[in-house]
Amino acid sequence: MYPAPFRYHRAESVAEAIGMLSELGEGARALAGGQSLLVLLKIRFDEPTDLVDLARIPGLDAIEQRDGEVRIGALATHARIARSEIAAAIPIVRDCANGIADNQVRSRGTIGGNLCSGDPSCDWPALLTTLDAQVHCEGPAGKRSLPVDGFVEDLYATALQEGEIVTGVSFALPGPGSAGAYVGFKRCAPAYPTTSVGVQLTLSGADCVDARIALGSSGLTPIHATAAEAELRGQTLGEAVIRRAAEAAVAASDPIDDQRGSPAFKRRLIDTLVRRGIDVARRRCAGEQVEVSHEYY
C-alpha cells in the first residue's frame, strides 16, 4: 500500500516541531513511531499534506524517576518502557507495555503516539488514566500539563491544540501498599484488545484506602470508572464489594459492536477483567509476584 503524496519534515527540536506544525496548519501530522499513523496513511484513511517527524528530537525518549514522580518522554517506545527499571518497579506498567501488539510494533511505537492517536483501543491512555497521570504538552502558546483523564476527548480526537505536541507523561510513583494490574483480552498479538482494564489499589490490610479503575476498548474514549472506584474506596475488599465495583465499571462502559464482539460480550469481559484486575492488584499489594498481561484466544 502506498500513502498519498505528502511532504516530509524532520524537526530537530521541540520548538522547531511546534513551528513547523503551526505553520503547516491542519493538513500536517506529527510523526513519532508511526505504528498508528503510517497504517492509516497506507490504506489512505488519512491523507495529510505534511508529516513532521519528531523521532530525532533529542531527549524526548527519557524514562526517569525523580522525587517520587515517574516521567516518561513521549518518544519512549513500548519496548524500552517494558525493559526499563520503572516497569520492573511498577508491574502495572510492565503489564501494559508488554501487552501492546507484537515485538515489531513495540520496538517502533511510542507512548506519546499511542496517546495522541486518540484511539480508544490503545492501551496507554487507559493505563495512564489508572495511574492518574499528567500529560505534558508544548505548543505555540507555551507549555501546559493536563490530566490524562479527558485528554482523549472523542474518537480519534484529543485535547491537543493546533501546533501542539505531547512531550511526555508523568505520574506519582505508587506508594507503599499501592499496586495495580493491567489486564486485557484479545484475539492475537497484533490485534487490539477486545477490552482491557487497569486497576490500581492502595490497601491497608484488606481495606481499600484508594482505588483507580480505567477501561480501554470499552467505548469511544478511554473510560475512567469513578463509580466503580467509589464502590471500593473505604471498603473491605470482599465478594459483594468487588461485584458492585465490577457492575459499576460495566455500567460506565459503552462498548461498540464490532468484529471483536457484541456489546453484551464485551460487558461480560469488562466484568471479568475488573475482577481479575482487582485480584491481581490485591495480591501484588500483599507482595506477591504475579505476571499478567493480555490473555489471547
Partner 1 sequence: MSWVGKSLRRKEDDRLIRGKGLFTDDEPADLHLYILRSPYAHARIRGIDTSAAEALPGVACVLTGQDVLEHCDPFMELAPGEAAEIKDYPLARDKVVYQGEPVAAVAAETAALAMDAGQLIDVDYEMLEPVLDAAEALKDEVLVHDNIGTNRTWQGVFEYGDVDQAFAEAAHVVRIGPMHFHRYSSTPLENNACIAEWTRQGTVEFLCNNSFPGFAQQLLAPGLRLPVEKVHIRAYDVGGSFGNKIWNYVYMALAALASKKAGGLRVKWSETRSEHLLASGHGNERSYYDTEVALDKDGVITAIKSRHIDDCGAYTRYEPLGCVIWSQVLPATYKLRNIRIDFSQALTNKCPVVPNRGYSRMQQLWFMERVVDICAHELGIPADEMRLRNYIRDFPYETPNGCVYDSGDYPAMLAKAKELIDWDKWVAYRDQARAEGRYVGIGIGTTLDSGTNNFGQAQIMNPQLPFSGNSEACIIRLDFDGNVVVTLGTGPSGQGHETAASQVVADELNIDPAMVQVRTGFDTAWNTYVGHSGTYASQFAVTGLSAVHGACQKLKAEMRKLAAFVLEAAEEDLEFGVGEQGPEVRVKGTDQFMNYWALANLVNNNNAVLDESLADVTLNVRHVYRPPFKVPDVERKFGNLTLTYASQLHIAVVEIDPDTCHAKILAYAAVDDCGTVINPQIAHGQVHGATAHGIGAAIMESFDYDEGGNLLTSTFSDYCPITSMNIPDVVYGNIQNPSPFSYSGAKGMGEGGGAPLHTMSAAVQDALHGAGIIITDSFVSPPALHRMLQAPNREQAVSVD
Shortest distance, CB of residue 40 to partner 1, whole angstroms?
11
* DSSP per-residue codes, 126-145: HHHHHTT-EEEEEETTEEEE
Contact string (CB under 8 A) for partner 1, positions 243-262, x = contact: ---------------xxxxx
Q: Choose among 285, 276, 219: nearest CA to 250.
A: 219
- Residue 126 to residue 118: CA distance in whole angstroms: 11
- Residue 87 to residue 131: CA distance in whole angstroms: 13
Our finding on whether 2 is near partner 1 (CB under 8 A) is: yes
Instruction: Assess contact for 295 and 185: CB atoms under 8 A.
Output: yes
Our finding on whether 205 is near partner 1 (CB under 8 A) is: no
Shortest distance, CB of residue 156 to partner 1, whole angstroms?
15
Q: By C-beta, is 156 or 265 nearer to partner 1?
A: 265
- Residue 184 to residue 204: CA distance in whole angstroms: 26
Shortest distance, CB of residue 182 to partner 1, whole angstroms?
16
Our finding on whether 268 is near partner 1 (CB under 8 A) is: yes
Q: By C-beta, is 171 or 192 nearer to partner 1?
A: 192
Q: By C-beta, is 4 or 286 nearer to partner 1?
A: 4
Residues between 172 and 191 with contacts to partner 1, criterion CB under 8 A:
185, 187-191
Residues between 29 and 58 with contacts to partner 1, criterion CB under 8 A:
43-44
| Alpha helix positions (H), 45-185 | 78-83, 85-89, 91-99, 103-108, 111-116, 123-130
Q: How many CB atoms lie within 10 A of CB 259?
A: 7
Per CB under 8 A, residues contacting partner 1 are: 1-5, 43-44, 185, 187-192, 194, 258-262, 264-265, 268-269, 271-272, 275, 295-297
